[in-house]
Amino acid sequence: MDVTVLIRGIGQILEFVLALGVLIFLHELGHFLFARLFKIEVLEFGFGLPPRMLKLFTWKGTEFTLNWIPFGAFVRPKGESDPSIPDGMAAASPWKRFFILLGGPLMNFLTGIAIFSLLYTLTGAPETQKVQIIQVNPNSPAEVAGLMPGDLVVSVEGTPIQSMQSLSEAIRSHLGEEVTLVVSREGKTLTLKATPRQNPPEGEGPLGIVMGNPIRSISVPESIPYALRDTANQAKTLISLPVLILRGEVSGEQTRLIGPVGMERVYREVRQMDVQAQQENPSNVPVRTLLLLASISIGLGVANLFPIPALDGGRILFLLPEIIFKKRIPPEQENLVNLIGFTALILLMIFITTQDIVNPIQLP
């Protein structure tokens, strides 16, 4: 094996472990910040997972530690599961505990928003109400008419074009007929004539063009609505997956669960695509890598909100009777259910990891 390839592969594995570790660290930071906000002491904030390697420092009663397993992070609030400990988490009001538990997933969603915002700021945002010619196929009606890449389509036969769908519909309603296209090119308005084909070659449309939306540069504040929309859409898709699976609208293979091993494989392939793109053009932004990290962060947030014992969502579920009916489930029962849930999650992760090794996921 080429030593350079081996070193690059090891480097990408370490890069993924670091990236995923940062996302998990930010999740735990959300819990930490809300605990501090409500004056609940956090005994330990650990970088990595136990056993402990060393104590880094102490800040406002919190020990910051470095642990031997270099993956993720954790927080240990005072009195996390014992309501008899004064000023501990379990002794706090249910609403305070609710927001402390919600803090982790919330931080994951904010991280997704931040990554999407960064992407839009670096690459620009599509103007969805404008249609631009991206490519003109040789010997096509578009080439004969004089259309060029970069042209903005203003109207077809007097019908304003405000989306790619409206352009497709306008063209397909005049197959075999000469149509008048008004386009904007470098600030000038041009009127062109073209005849959409009734039977275009395979892989081409009636005009023989590839269309898209023009991209405009935007500022960080302008990127926020786009980032919020994309984060909400991804979260909505993930939340609806169980229902779609039960309805049979998506197959199990399409929604296969993957663990860190599977995610690392996907990360490595996506990262390689971005590396190749940057070799061709050093100014290219690693779009695929950033999109994957945003998706993982949002996925962590959604997964932790599912009402599964031991996860944040499962622990929030135990709070509902206390919030609604003012009746608390005995901590001993809650701790037992969470222990069973945690054991089940560990077994599930072992199964998923085995699947990732035996039957590696393939990107389409």
Name the fold adopted by 132-216.
Answer: Pdz3 Domain (2.30.42)
pLDDT number for residue 249 = 66
Task: Identify which of 82, 86, 52 has the alpha carbon closest to the alpha carbon of residue 67.
Answer: 52
pLDDT number for residue 363 = 63
Distance separating alpha carbons of residues 64 and 45, to the nearest angstrom: 5
Distance separating alpha carbons of residues 123 and 223, to the nearest angstrom: 11
Domain-by-domain residue ranges, the chain? Answer: 3-41+78-123+288-358, 132-216
pLDDT digits (tens, 9 = 90+) for 82-92: 888 998 999 99
Distance separating alpha carbons of residues 182 and 130, to the nearest angstrom: 13
Instruction: Tell me how far CA of residue 124 lies from CA of 100, 214, 220, 273, in angstroms.
Output: 35, 9, 10, 20
Q: For the chain, percent helix, then strand, then coil, each to nearest 5?
A: 50, 20, 30
Task: Identify which of 123, 252, 132 has the alpha carbon closest to the alpha carbon of residue 184.
Answer: 132
pLDDT digits (tens, 9 = 90+) for 236-285: 988 887 777 677 666 655 566 777 888 888 888 898 888 888 888 888 88
pLDDT digits (tens, 9 = 90+) for 123-155: 999 998 999 999 999 999 999 999 999 999 999
Distance separating alpha carbons of residues 30 and 100, to the nearest angstrom: 8
pLDDT number for residue 108 = 97
* Average pLDDT score over residue span 14-43: 93
